[in-house]
């Protein structure tokens, strides 16, 4: 069985704690590797080495740092097939999904090529008599990125790329469930010209995370995961004087108005609700049709589409709609929530609780499920399921529909399908959610805008990628300068002229 490593100072380093976590092949349900869990000592040593390497990297001009990003773009493209296969093997998502994971991360690295422009300060000439004023953006120093399992390429690249482009050193703590791709990306950064030690990968669990949160050398912390952990990390990081951006859970609603194209809405719900087995923070998990007639038409369109979905391992070809979930614990939790929906009175329209796949009976596969007549008091509505489960909550009016999304504790993403521009405009302006789609089911902004939710989906002031990422990973320093001018007499500078 393969034993994975940490990545320290440009080299793969074996763990020394004696603790390991299982890395599964979710399609067959077998452990394929052991991931070392770093001790606080190992974590702190990696941070110290990163701090040493950061000094020279922070002094490197932004143009040269941008060239590393440019080289990294080429290397990711060159290694796309190998990276995608490793990602699918550990996570379980289909190869097209894995390549999409990489592509969205790659787009942020492309954006980081513009670091010289993003890091320019401001200048005011003659702010006062003989006084000039200017600002500069300087790196924080060493930052930590604590990343989730569901996007093992995209999420590290979203945070590591801007942090490095700004001149920081990064200590990445990837998910112990699928750590191979982050380790491969670390190798590629070194190949792209990043100095050794500037990007460290430390595998671990809460012990490693707490070491990062307590380290005096860590100046900033980025986290993506569940809301309870996001709250914990944000409170600990800020209490220790660190800058923090922590992104939590989601429960994304898609409102379907009576005038919407129902076929378009149904296609959008199937793609956004079941893609990647629902293991996405931007997955649509709640459909909100307005009016009984709209709801009946929508359910009628959804059922055959859901029943046609093909669930299989990533090795079964590009026509697979989604694969297994990542661990047996994830599967058990999803099935428990599905059962709670039945017990609490929701109508299970598409029932795949007994789903099995011939030849892959031990895999962590969960078939697609559709609930109708879900109410806001049910667990399947309140909780983030993170599985292939879509809940339909029937709303009697537009006001009731918009109220459902606005009163939910999560505020990551939301969408509305309508042909009415006035309704769409009102929805956009009133909704208290960070990312909004109009006839777009998964409103994930492109790399040059920022990504982030509201309410309990995000803790901190600055979002992921786009301009906010360069603000988060730098400090602004403002300089007020006055140079005394004297009168030269006989080639000598006369300081008495200043008296």
Catalytic residues: 281
- The total of other beta-carbon atoms located within 10 Å of residue 225's CB is 21
**Which tokens sit at 377?**
């008091």
How far is the C-alpha of 340 from the C-alpha of 488, rounded, in Å? 87
CB of 457 within 8 A of CB of 411? yes
The overall longest dimension of the chain from CA atoms, in Å, is 98
Residue 93 DSSP class: -
Give the CB-side neighbour count of residue 307, counting CA atoms within 13 A: 9
How far is the C-alpha of 368 from the C-alpha of 270, rounded, in Å? 10
Q: Where does residue 126 rank: exposed (0-12), middle (13-18), buried (19+ CB within 10 A)?
A: exposed
> What is the β-pairing status of strands 218-224 and 142-146?
parallel
How far is the C-alpha of 321 from the C-alpha of 390, rounded, in Å? 15
Strands of the 347-350 sheet, one edge to the other: 347-350, 369-372, 389-392, 284-289, 252-256, 413-417, 435-438
CB of 437 within 8 A of CB of 416? yes
**Which tokens sit at 174?**
């990837």
Helix (H/G/I), strand (E/B), else coil: 390:
strand
- With vertex at residue 243, the alpha carbon angle to CA 241 and CA 248, rounded to the nearest 5 degrees, is 120
Beta bridge partners of 35: 21
- With vertex at residue 126, the alpha carbon angle to CA 123 and CA 129, rounded to the nearest 5 degrees, is 145
Non-local (6+) Cβ contacts of 399 within 8 A are none
CA distances from 184 to 104, 201, 224, 262, 322 (A): 17, 10, 20, 43, 24
Could you please report the per-residue DSSP string of 311-342?
B--GGG-TT--B---SSHHHHHHHHHHHHHHH
Helix axes 206-214, 227-239, angle to 10 degrees: 30
**Which tokens sit at 361?**
């009976």
How far is the C-alpha of 207 from the C-alpha of 146, rounded, in Å? 12
Instruction: Write down the number of H helices and E strands in the chain.
Output: 16, 25
Of 460, 417, 461, 419, nearest in space to 436 by CA: 417
């Amino acid at each position: 069985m393969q034993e994975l490593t940490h990545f320290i100072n440009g080299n793969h380093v074996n763990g020394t704690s004696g603790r390991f976590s299982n890395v599964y092949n979710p399609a067959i349900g077998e452990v394929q590797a052991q991931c070392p869990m770093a001790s606080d000592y190992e974590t702190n040593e990696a941070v110290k080495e990163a701090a040493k390497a950061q000094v020279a990297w922070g002094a490197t001009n932004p143009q040269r740092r941008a060239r590393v990003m440019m080289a990294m773009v080429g290397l990711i493209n060159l290694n796309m097939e190998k990276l995608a296969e490793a990602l699918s093997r550990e996570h379980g998502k289909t190869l097209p999904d894995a390549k999409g994971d990489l592509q969205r991360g790659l787009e942020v690295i492309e954006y980081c090529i513009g670091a010289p422009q993003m890091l320019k300060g401001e200048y005011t000439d003659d702010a006062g008599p003989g006084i000039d004023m200017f600002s500069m953006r300087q790196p924080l120093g060493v930052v930590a990125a604590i990343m989730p399992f569901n996007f093992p390429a995209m999420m590290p690249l979203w945070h590591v790329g801007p942090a490095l482009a700004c001149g920081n050193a990064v200590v990445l703590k990837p998910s112990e469930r699928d750590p191979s791709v982050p380790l491969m990306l670390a190798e590629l950064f070194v190949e792209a010209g990043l100095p050794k030690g500037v990007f460290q990968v430390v595998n671990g669990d809460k012990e490693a995370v707490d070491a990062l949160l307590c380290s005096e050398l860590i100046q900033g912390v980025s986290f993506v995961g569940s809301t309870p952990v996001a709250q914990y990390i944000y409170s600990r990081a800020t209490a220790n004087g660190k800058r923090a951006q922590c992104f939590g859970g989601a429960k994304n609603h898609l409102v379907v108005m009576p005038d919407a194209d129902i076929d378009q809405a149904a296609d959008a719900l199937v793609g956004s609700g079941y893609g990647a087995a629902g293991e996405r923070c931007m997955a649509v998990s709640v459909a909100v049709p307005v009016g009984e007639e709209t709801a009946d038409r929508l359910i009628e369109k959804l059922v055959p589409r859901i029943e046609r979905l093909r669930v299989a391992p990533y090795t079964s070809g590009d026509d697979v709609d989604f694969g297994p979930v990542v661990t047996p614990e994830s599967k058990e939790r999803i099935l428990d929530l599905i059962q709670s929906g039945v017990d609490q009175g929701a109508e299970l329209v598409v029932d795949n609780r007994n789903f099995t796949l011939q030849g892959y009976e031990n895999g962590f596969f969960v078939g697609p499920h559709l609930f109708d007549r879900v109410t806001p008091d049910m667990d399947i509505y309140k909780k983030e399921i993170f599985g292939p489960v879509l809940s339909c909550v029937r709303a009697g009016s537009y006001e009731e529909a918009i109220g459902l999304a606005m009163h939910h504790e999560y505020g990551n993403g939301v969408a509305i399908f309508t042909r009415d521009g006035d309704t769409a405009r009102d929805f956009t302006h009133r909704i208290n959610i960070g990312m909004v789609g109009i006839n777009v089911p998964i409103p994930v902004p492109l790399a040059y805008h920022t990504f982030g939710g509201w309410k309990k989906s995000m803790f901190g002031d600055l979002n992921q990628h786009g301009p906010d990422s360069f603000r988060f990973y730098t400090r602004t320093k403002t300089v007020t300068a006055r140079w005394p001018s004297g009168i030269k007499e006989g080639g000598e500078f006369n300081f008495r002229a200043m008296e």
